[in-house]
Amino acid sequence: MAFGYIILALAVPGCLYIGSIVVGICYGIRLAITVPTASELFGLKYYGLIYNILILNLPIGSLLFSGLLAGILYDMEATATPGGGNTCVGAHCYRIVFVVMAVACIIGFVLDIVLSIRTKAVYTKIFASKKSRKSLTSSNGRRQ
């Protein structure tokens, strides 16, 4: 996703489409991965609550990045126009926002790596139990 935001920050003609596609695909993958992650790591007893906590970052991120950060940085880049109001035209208007979002994505990626290292034992246990059940059922089938 950071790659998509860097593409958007470059503001080269045609990059809007490519960057938007990359960021959109990454959001879709992220939402799809959240479902099994929540159920495998925390179980199904409080799945609804845990899943909602895990996806709470989407509205919070929209508020912080789109509402506050983008608005403040746009106002800093905008110049006063006659008759009132501020206007910003050009690639520089949102470049800093995209760079900050790319940095946030890189930090999130590092945290994902830390999570995968910390949960390796959980996934090893899940895989081992599935493998032992599979071998048990196949050995039971051979006895008949």
pLDDT tens-digit readout, 15-57: 889 999 999 999 899 888 888 888 888 888 888 898 888 888 8
Distance between CA atoms of residues 86 and 77, nearest Å: 9
Q: Above 90 in pLDDT, residue 113?
A: yes
Distance between CA atoms of residues 140 and 143, nearest Å: 5
pLDDT of residue 81: 67
For residues 114-121, give the mean pLDDT: 88
Q: Above 70 in pLDDT, residue 141?
A: no
Distance between CA atoms of residues 59 and 15, nearest Å: 26
Structure confidence by residue, pLDDT tens digits, 77-111: 887 666 667 788 778 888 888 999 999 999 999 99
Provide the residue range defining the domain that includes 14: 2-143
pLDDT of residue 83: 66
CA angle 99, 105, 108 (to 5 degrees): 145
| Domain total of the chain | 1
Q: Above 80 in pLDDT, residue 137?
A: no
